[in-house]
Amino acid sequence: MTIDDSGWGQCPIPSYDYPSILLAHGGGGRLMHDLIEKIFVAAFHNPELESHHDGALIDPGKGRLVFTTDSYVVDPLFFPGGNIGTLAVYGTVNDLAMCGARPKYLSAGFILEEGLPMETLWRVAQSMRQAADAASVRIVTGDTKVVDKGRGHGIFINTAGVGVADHDLYISPTSIKPGDTIILNGDVGRHGIAIMACREGLSFETEIESDCAPLAASVSQLIDGGIEVHCLRDLTRGGLATSLVEIAQSAGWELAIDEKAVLVREPVKAACEILGFDPFYVANEGRYVAFVPQPHADRAMELLQKQDSTLLPRVIGRVIEKDRGRVVLKTLLGSERLLTMLSGEQLPRIC
C-alpha cells in the first residue's frame, strides 16, 4: 500500500478509544455516534452537516438541478496521486461537470469492513475534505455501515452529488453536430496504469501518478468563456475508446479520431507495452473530451491551455456527416480502423 502525501499528516487523528472498526460502529448506538462525531463531522465540518438531521437542507440557488451518484471500490485504497477518498469526491464532481453543472453538494455513504484501522478511515476522510475544498463542494449528509470481516474490503464509498446548470446549453451526445471539433484535455492512461502498477507491485523508472483531478472549474471556464459546448464526457472505466463509441452510438454520427493527436506519456506507453494494455482503453480520472462547434475550437483550446500549462490539451478529431454511429481511428501508420467498446474487463476495481 502506497502512502499518499497529500498533507493529511498535518491533521493528526483525533484521540480515539478504538484502534479499528468494530461491528458496533455501524449499530446505530453510542459507538456509531462517536465515530460520526470524531471522524466524519470533524473532517467535513460545515453548517449543513452539523444539524445532525437525517438529511440536509440545501440551497442550490438558481438554475436546472443535476443529480448523480457513483460508488467507489478501488483496490488498493491508496495509490500514487490519490486514494479512494479523493476519487470519491472528484469522480462525482466530474459526473456533474460532464452534465455542464457546477457541483454544490455531496453525500457520502461509507461501507466499512470490521477491523479497518481507524487511522486509515481518518486519512481517507481528511483527503475527502481536501478534495471537496479543491472542488468547491460541501459534504452535507452521510451514512455509515459496518460489514463483517471478509464481507467487504476495507472501505467502499458512495457519493451522490447535486449541482446546478445555470446556462441554456443542452450538453448531451444528441447535441453534437457534423463538423464539431473533438478536444481532449490532456494525456491518457495514467489512472489505470497507476492502479495496476500498485496492485501488481510493479515499479517503473518514473512513478506513474493517477491523473485524478476535479474537472468542474475547467468546464465552467469553457462555458463562461462563451464556448457553445455540445457534449462532454469524462474518460473513466473503459477509457477514451469506450467513451467515444458510447457517444457515437448515442449521437448516431461518425467520429474521426487521429491517433497521433492523442497524447500518451512515455512511462504510460512503456507500462502498457509491458502489461499488454491499449492506452485507449485504460481508465482516467481527470480527463474529458469536449465536442464544440469548429469556429469555437481555437478559443476553447486557448481557455484549456490557460487553465493548466502542464495538461497539453489537443484537438483529436471531428464529427463526420455520416449517420453510422461509429468511431474511425486514423492510426499512426495512416491506415484506418474501427474502435469498439471494451468488451470484457481490462482493469476491474479501478475506481
Residue 188 or 297 with smaller CB distance to a second copy: 188
Nearer to a second copy, 5 or 54 (CB): 54
- Minimal distance, residue 238 CB to a second copy, in Å: 3
How far does Cα 34 stand from its chain's mean position?
31
Q: Which three cell numbers stand for residue 217?
A: 472549474
Grid coordinates representing 305 are 491551455
Taking the complex as a whole, the smallest distance from the CB of residue 142 to a second copy amounts, in Å, to: 6
Comparison of 74 and 264: residue with beta carbon closer to a second copy: 74
Burial 60-85 (b: 16+ CB within 10 A, else e): beeeeebebebebbbeebbbbbbbbb
Our CB check for a second copy shows the closer of 12 and 28 to be 28
- Of residues 68 and 130, the one with the C-beta less far from a second copy: 68
| Cα 97 to Cα 185: distance, rounded to the nearest angstrom | 14
- Compare residues 275 and 341 and give the one whose CB is closer to a second copy: 341
**Minimum CB separation from a second copy for residue 114, in Å?**
9
How are beta strands 181-184 and 64-72 bridged, if at all?
Answer: unpaired
The DSSP code for 20 is B
Please report how many Cα atoms fall inside a 13 Å half-sphere around the Cα of residue 253, on the Cβ side.
Answer: 21
Residue 244: name the closest of 203, 280, 217 by CA. 280
Smallest separation (angstroms) from a second copy to the CB of 125: 15
- Whether the CB-CB separation of 92 and 161 falls below 8 Å is answered with yes
DSSP 117: B
How far is residue 147 from each of residues 24, 27, 36, 115, measured CA to CA in Å? 10, 10, 17, 10
Q: How far is the CB of 25 from a second copy (least distance, A)?
A: 8
d(CA 347, CA 58): 37
Burial (CB < 10 A; 0-12, 13-18, 19+), residue 2, is middle
Rounded to the nearest 10 degrees, the angle between the axes of helix 216-224 and helix 297-307 is 140
Q: How far is the CB of 42 from a second copy (least distance, A)?
A: 18
* Beta carbon nearer to a second copy, 152 or 313: 152
Write down the least CB distance from residue 295 to a second copy, Å.
26
Cα–Cα–Cα angle for 105, 80, 212, rounded to 5 degrees: 35
Least Å distance, CB 8 to a second copy, is 24
Q: Provide, rounded to whole angstroms, the least separation between the CB of residue 99 and a second copy.
A: 4
Which CB, 88 or 297, lies closer to a second copy?
Answer: 88
**Per DSSP, what are the bridge partners of residue 328?**
256, 338
User: Which residue, 55 or 117, is less far from a second copy as judged by CB?
Assistant: 55
